[in-house]
Chains A and B, each alone.
Chain A
C-alpha cells in the first residue's frame, strides 16, 4: 500500500541500523512521547535493531493513561444522570475508574455510545433533542481541534444539547516538566501528528535551554529509525537542534487554521497529569463564550479524587522511570482483559504495548 510499504522496507531499516551502529559512541536515552510511537517501536521490534548505546524510553504519550481515574469517575457520574447520552472514543470504554468502568455502566443500562469522530456525537445530539449528549473530549493537539470544530459547529447550529467533558491536554509543558523533573534523557522523538498542528516552534527551548535533541518523527519503522539516526547524529556532533523527519506531513509552522480554531474555543488551564501531578497551563478548558457546551458548567458534579490502585506504578511508568516489567502487578493481576492501571487498558498504553508484544 502506498505510503506504507515504502516505509516498512527491511533493507532500508537494516541500512539505517548499520549507520546508527557505525556512528553511535555516546550512551544516549531517547524518549518518545506519543503512544503511536510506542506501538510502532514494539510492533516492529525496533529495539532489536539498535546498538546498546541507544536506549528508548516511553513517556506520557497516551492521553487515556495520563488522564487517569478521576476523569473516568467524572464520566461515570455524568452517564448516571437522567437524560444523558454519553459518547466516547472506544479507547475509554474499558478504562477502570475507582469503582466501575464505562463498559460496566453500559451493561448496567446507561446510554453510552462509541463514536469514531466527535461529529457523530453532534449527529446524535441533533437526533435526540430531549437528551443531553456529552462527548468525552480526550487527547492532545491532534484530537483537540476536532472537538473545537464540533463545539464551533454546535454553536453555529444552536445545538444546545451537545456538551463536552474536556480532558484535552497539550504536549509542550509536559515535555519540559519531565526534563525539569530530572529525567535523564538526551533527546525526544517528537510526536508527528501533534507537531503537524502545533508546528516546531514549541520545541525551541529544548535544545537552547536544556541541550536536548528533538526530531519530529513519522510512525512507520523507517521513519522511526531515521529519526533515531538524526538524533544520534545531532548528539554525537554535540549540536542538538529541532529537525523534522516526518516532512511528508509536518510543516514548520504547523496547521495555522486548526490552531486558530483551538484558540477560539479553548484556553489553557493548569491540569493534573497522572504520575506527574499538576502541570501549569498544560490542559485545555472551554472558553466562557462557549460555556453552554461545557458540561461541567451546565451540570456540575462533585467527584472525589480516589487514590491510585494499590501496587500500580503507572505514574512511574508514565515518567519513564520504570518499565512495565518492574511492576509486581504486570501480566499477573494486571492484564488487558482485566486491567488495574490505565497504562494496561489503553491500546497505546505502555503496559498494554509491552504485554501485547512481550517476549
Chain B
C-alpha cells in the first residue's frame, strides 16, 4: 500500500498520482472485480443474452439459439458516474449543471458508447436560492437535449447550512456500446508510430474557473470549453475504425492522461510543443501564474490515439464539427522511453512530462 497519510488531503482529489494511489489502495482493493479493474472512463457491463432470452417471454428454442449466437453482436452497456463540486457554481462558459451533464456524457462517449440515460442527484445546502437552482436545472435540461440524452431518475437531499458548499451534483449515465466501438479492447493494438490527436485548445476550463474563483481580476474573454462531445466522437468513430484510445483530459490535463496511457501500453509518448493548440488567454495566465497548460483541466476536449495513416483524415472529420475546429495532431507513440511522456520543446530541447503530483501552484518569485 502506497497511501501513507492518515487524513484525506485535497491532493487526494486532484486527478494526479496521489489520487490514483488512493483508488488502488482502497477502492479497487476492497471492491475489486473484473469489471472495476477495467479502470476506464465507463464500466462496460456484459448483457447476459442467454439469460434474457431464457426469460418468461423468450419463445422457442430457436430464439434461444439465435440469442446465443448473437451474444457477441449484442450491444453491451456502458455505465459511469461522476460528482460535481465546482466552485464557483457559475463560471464563464457554463455552470455546475451543464458541467454535470457534459462530464458524464463525455465519460460514456470516450469509452466508445452512445450515451442514452442519465441520473441526477442533488445535495443542496439549506438556504440555497431557488432562482439559482432553476437556472442550473434549466441549463442541465438544455444540455441534455442538445446531447440527445434523457435525465430519467434522480434524488434530492438538503443538508443544514454549512454542511455542504451551496450545491453538489452527481450524475450517472448509461450508454450502449457495440463490440466494434469498444475501445478498451483496442488499447493493446497501440504501436509505435500511432498518432496523438486532440480536438482543440488546452486548459480553457481550468483557467476560466480559476480566473472566476480567485481575485486576480484578469480581464479576459476566456471561457470554459465545457461541452458534450458525443456527436464529435460519433463522427470520428463512424468515419474511422482506427481509433485505439480516447480519454477526456479533465483534472490533471493532457499530460496526466498521456502518462496514464504510457503506463498502460508500456511504450513511450512524444508530444510536440509547437503543435499544441493553446489560446492566448490561457497562455498569458499560465505564464503569469507559472502553470503549464498541459496540466490544466479541460471539459470539452478528447485526446485520441489513432493509426498513422488515418490521423490527418480524423483531424479533417473533427474540424467539420464546431467543437473540433482547432483539432490537431500533437504527438506520437514511440518505442523509446517506455512508460514515459516526453515533450519536444519549441526551443528544440526535450523534457519529461511527469504525472501531476499535488495541486499546481503558482510561483512566488
Residue B31 CB within 8 A of the other chain = no
Once bound together, how far apart are the Cα atoms of A301 and B11, in whole Å?
29
**Contact A140 B365, beta carbon cutoff 8 Å:** yes
A44 touches B349 (CB 8 A): yes
Contact with A along B38-82 (1 / 0, CB 8 A): 000000000000000000000000000000000000000000000
Q: Mark each residue of chain B from 339 to 358: 1 if its CB lies under 8 Å from any CB of chain A, else 0.
A: 00000011111111010011
Closest-by-CB residue of A relative to B355 is A337
Does B228 interact with chain A (Cβ within 8 Å)?
Answer: no
* 1/0 contact string of A147-173 vs chain B (CB within 8 Å): 000000000000000000000000000
A356 close to chain B: CB less than 8 A: yes
Give chain A residues whose Cβ lies under 8 Å from the Cβ of B200: none
Please, what's the 1-or-0 string for A24-57, where 1 marks a CB less than 8 Å from any CB in chain B?
A: 0000000000111001001111101000000000
Closest B residue by C-beta to A336:
B357
Question: Using Cβ atoms and an 8 Å threshold, which residues of chain B touch A356?
Answer: 351-352, 354
On chain B, the residues within 8 Å of A347 by CB distance are 290, 361, 363
Contact call A104/B5, Cβ cutoff below 8 A: yes
User: Could you tell me if A94 and B7 are in contact, using CB atoms closer than 8 angstroms?
Assistant: no
Closest partner residue, chain A, to B289 (CB atom): A116
- Cα of A193 to Cα of B4 in the assembled complex, Å: 39
B210 nearest CB neighbor, chain A only: A116
Please give the number of chain B residues whose Cβ is less than 8 angstroms from any Cβ of chain A in the complex.
36
Q: Known contacts A123-B215, A355-B354: does B361 contact A90 (CB below 8 Å)? A: yes
Q: Which residues of B contact A193 (CB under 8 A)?
A: 365
**Considering the chains assembled together, what is the distance between the CA atoms of A131 and B10 in angstroms?**
24
Expressed in whole angstroms, the minimum distance between the Cβ of B106 and any Cβ of chain A is 27
CB-based contact B352/A357 at 8 Å: yes
What's the minimum C-beta distance from A111 to chain B, rounded to whole angstroms? 14
Query: A321 vs B300: C-alpha distance in the bound complex, in angstroms?
Result: 47
Cross-chain contact A91 with B347 (CB below 8 angstroms): no
Point out the residue from B348, B351, B362 that lies within 8 Å of A10, measured CB to CB.
B348
B 201-233 to A, binary, CB cutoff 8 A, 1 in contact else 0? 000000000000011100000000000000000
For the complex with contacts A63-B365, A91-B363, A337-B11, 12 further pairs of A-B residues with Cβ separation under 8 Å are A1-B283, A35-B363, A36-B363, A48-B349, A93-B361, A114-B361, A116-B362, A117-B215, A143-B365, A336-B358, A347-B363, A356-B354
Chain A to chain B contacts (Cβ below 8 Å), 22 pairs: A1-B283, A9-B347, A34-B365, A36-B365, A45-B345, A45-B348, A45-B350, A48-B349, A89-B364, A90-B362, A93-B359, A93-B361, A103-B11, A108-B7, A120-B215, A221-B347, A337-B11, A337-B17, A348-B365, A356-B351, A357-B351, A359-B352
